[in-house]
Amino acid sequence: MWKHWQAVSGGIVNKKIKPALKPNRILRLHRIFRHGDRPWQGLIMVVSIFIIVLMAAIGWMLWRESSGARFTFGWNFLAPTTNASWDPVNDHFQAWPFIYGTLLTSLFAIIIALPISLGIAIFLVELCPAWLRTPLTWMVELLAAIPSVVYGLWGIFIFLPVVVTPIGSFLAETLGNFPVIGALFAGPMSASGASRLAASLILAIMIIPTIAAVTRDVFLAIPNSQREASLALGSTRWETIWKVLIPYGLSGILGAVILGLGRALGETMAVTMVIGNSIEGSLSLLRPGYSMASVIANEFAEAVSKLHNQALVEVGLALFVMTLLLNILARFLVWRVASRTPQEVRA
């Protein structure tokens, strides 16, 4: 439609001006401005360029403002290590504990959120009676509307003692004794329940709407002929979902997971309120930890030394790059799904 319009209006703008052979300058300016189209197009173009520059400026500012820290610590700043130091007094900074905390909590959140989101998407698209579909969709999306700090407050006073501590203690007693994965589930749980596990669970709740919504759209986009083909061969509904629909939408679902992961990585307030904010050496999910966003939130306003300030900006830069890469990957996957689908129509 827009192309069409473009053709129509393009005819007005360009063709009327071009054939006029070298009119004098004033006349030409007059013609350009009479319709007001050139200034209008110029305006919306300048604003668009501004948006693009804004996106680039975020990256560039983070790069510039972290120069001292990058210069002083190099790659060591980001490298995995068992005894990292984050020492504002002596101006020595290594970000690994935060990176580890962010990655571990986000991945674990995805592991929990993915099956639930898949279940929601399948229920909404394939099973749910029509009258229930809209209210349920809204309710799931409202989960994403509740402010992060409210999740945090509820987390500290209700979710931690009632849900996280019992689950954590149970995991410590069971999985904690296994040889390899035991390190991930080593106890004891802290009394308050503040831990990486708590952060993961809250994150899972917060990213379920994102993953469920995208996955739902993926299922809605699958042509009905695929369902009919499978059912007509004598598949049960579940076999159709599991063996036809999920493989069909797999890259779209992967895109949904990546978008969810992006949200989890950058989530700040709720995580800061329940993760415990501690740089201890333990790798365990059940121990308090720290995340990249949390350390920025807690320390940036009070960072006195220049290097401390720059180190925090560098953590932000790392976070920005991670979400940028995930975003590009997700768009690529979604784009691939979109470009593959039309083939099916050829007949």
Binding positions for another protein, 6-25, rule CB under 8 A = 6, 8-9, 12-13
Q: Nearest-CA neighbor of 265 among 309, 336, 332, 326?
A: 326
Would you count residue 225 as binding another protein (CB under 8 A)? yes
Helix axes 196-221, 250-266, angle to 10 degrees: 150
Name the DSSP class of 189. Answer: P
Q: What is the DSSP string of 42-57?
A: HHHHHHHHHHHHHHHH
Residue placing its CB nearer to another protein in the complex, 6 or 305: 6
Determine the interface stretch with another protein among 86-94, 213-221, 232-240, 280-288 (rule: CB under 8 A).
232-240
Distance of CA 85 to the CA centre of its chain: 28
Q: Which is nearer to another protein, 3 or 15 (CB)?
A: 3
Single residue of 327, 332, 335, 338 touching another protein by CB under 8 A: 327
Kindly state the number of chain residues that form the binding site for another protein, as judged by CB under 8 A.
121
Minimum CB distance to another protein smaller for 176 or for 255? 255
Binding flag, residue 58, another protein (CB under 8 A): yes
* Minimum CB distance to another protein, residue 24 (Å): 23
Give the pair of three-digit tokens for residue 188. Answer: 């004891």
Exactly one of 17, 61, 103, 221 binds another protein (CB under 8 A); which one? Answer: 61
Among residue numbers 174 through 193, which ones bind another protein (CB under 8 A)?
A: none
The minimum distance between CB 285 and another protein, in angstroms, equals: 20
Nearer to another protein, 159 or 284 (CB): 159
Give the single-character DSSP code of 77: G
Measured CA to CA, the distance from residue 277 to residue 288 in angstroms comes to: 7
Note whether 29 binds another protein by CB under 8 A.
no
Closest CB 182 distance from another protein, rounded Å = 28
Cβ neighbours for 137, distance < 8 A, ≥ 6 positions apart: 124, 216
Please check whether residue 195 is in contact with residue 276, taking contact to mean a CB–CB distance below 8 angstroms: yes
Cα–Cα distance between 341 and 344 in angstroms, integer?
6
Q: How far is the CB of 84 from another protein (least distance, A)?
A: 21
- The interface with another protein within residues 121-160 (CB under 8 A) comprises 122-124, 126-127, 130, 134, 136, 138-140, 142-143, 145-154, 156-159
- H helices of 188-249, where? 196-221, 224-232, 237-239, 246-248
User: Which residues does 15 contact at the CB level (< 8 Å), separation at least 6?
Assistant: none
Per-residue binder mask for another protein (CB under 8 A), 84-123, x = binder: -------------------------------xxxxxx-xx
- Answer for which of 106, 200, 268, 284 binds another protein (CB under 8 A) is 268
CB of 278 to another protein, least distance (A): 15
Name beta bridge partners: 36: none
Does 2 bind another protein (CB under 8 A)? Our answer is: yes
Which of residues 32, 167, 279, 297 is near another protein by CB under 8 A? 297
Buried b (16+ CB within 10 A) or exposed e, 256-271: bbbbbbbbbbbbbbbb
Least Å distance, CB 215 to another protein, is: 12
